[in-house]
């Protein structure tokens, strides 16, 4: 599990951000919440964004959005479902915020012990 699953989630979100950003930027932010023991990662883009009415369908199996079909005809709607399930399995969650025409911010969290192992020092990690 650990860093391989973390990288799987990150690369999926990053791939989506790059796929739907034609102009502007894609940014990644990583922070660690010591109180909650969570590693929190955000992928923010200035891409096409998502309609508010479509946000509830994002993480459903086969939850391909109508508005993205023309931009990404190959996608079937598995990626975000897999990200959500992996994140929950690792003790966290995935969230999405978006504005159509402005961009999106996807963030996910996982428990620190899933990344660093149960015995970790605040100065070093197993990565």
- Chain segment 2-42, per-residue pLDDT in tens: 789 999 999 999 999 999 999 999 999 999 999 999 999 99
Nearest to 106 by CA among 37, 25, 43: 43
* Residues across the chain: 127
Global confidence as pTM: 0.80
- Chain segment 45-95, per-residue pLDDT in tens: 999 998 888 888 888 765 555 555 455 545 556 889 999 999 999 999 999
Q: Residue 29 corresponds to which tokens in the numbers above?
A: 């932010």
Examine the pLDDT at 124 and tell me if it is beyond 60.
Answer: no
Bridge partner list, 27: 44
């Amino acid at each position: 599990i650990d860093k391989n699953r973390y990288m799987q989630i990150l690369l999926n979100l990053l791939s989506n951000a790059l796929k739907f950003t034609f102009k502007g930027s894609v940014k990644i932010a990583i922070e660690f919440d010591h109180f909650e023991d969570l590693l929190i990662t955000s992928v923010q883009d200035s891409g096409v964004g998502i309609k508010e009415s479509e946000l509830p369908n994002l993480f459903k199996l086969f939850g391909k959005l109508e508005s993205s079909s023309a931009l990404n005809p190959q996608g079937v709607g598995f990626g975000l479902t897999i990200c959500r399930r992996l994140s929950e399995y690792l003790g966290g969650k995935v969230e999405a915020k978006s504005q159509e025409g402005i961009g999106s911010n996807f963030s996910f969290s996982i428990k620190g012990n899933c990344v660093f192992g149960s015995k970790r020092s605040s100065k070093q990690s197993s990565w």
